[in-house]
Amino acid sequence: MPVETARAEDLDERLRSGRCGRTGWMQVLIDHDTPVGRCPSCGWATTSERRDCPSRVIAKCLLERAPLPAWLAHLADLVPGARLRSGPESRDQQRAALDDLPGLFAAPARQPERRR
């Protein structure tokens, strides 16, 4: 069975409109609760790898202020408030830009991040 790719049409309209807040996201989370097999609201088929439909996963990420998973990253522009995980390159670029800003006093040199 081929793995489905989430499309914009698969998302709950409340997520795409951007007019719902935490209460609306919670309602999407409840409406798209998938016990087994298919989502009762959108009909998304669940698999062992992806247990929840895209609307439920995005609503959960918005409620937790977490970045979207990789399999939904292409939908981040369609959902207001959704964000992506930033890579180490973009973090380094952000830090370099912050370090170049003028300040009231000279800041100590930044130490490289320790790898975990």
In contact, 13 and 31? CB cutoff 8 Å: no
Residues β-bridged to residue 45 = 38
CA distance 26 to 92: 35
Q: Taking 70 as the threshold, does the pLDDT of residue 111 lie above it?
A: yes
Confidence of residue 89 (pLDDT cuts 50, 70, 90): confident
Q: What pLDDT does residue 1 have?
A: 42
Query: How many Cβ atoms sit within 10 Å of the Cβ of residue 35?
Result: 8
> Is the distance from CB of 84 to CB of 68 less than 8 angstroms?
yes
Largest separation between any pair of C-alpha atoms in the chain: 61
Mean pLDDT value across the chain: 83
Q: Under DSSP, is residue 45 helix (H, G, I), strand (E, B) or coil?
A: strand
User: Mean per-residue pLDDT for 1-23?
Assistant: 82
Determine the average pLDDT of the residues in 4-11: 85
In this prediction, residue 3 carries a pLDDT of 62
113 Cβ neighbours under 8 A, 6+ residues apart: none
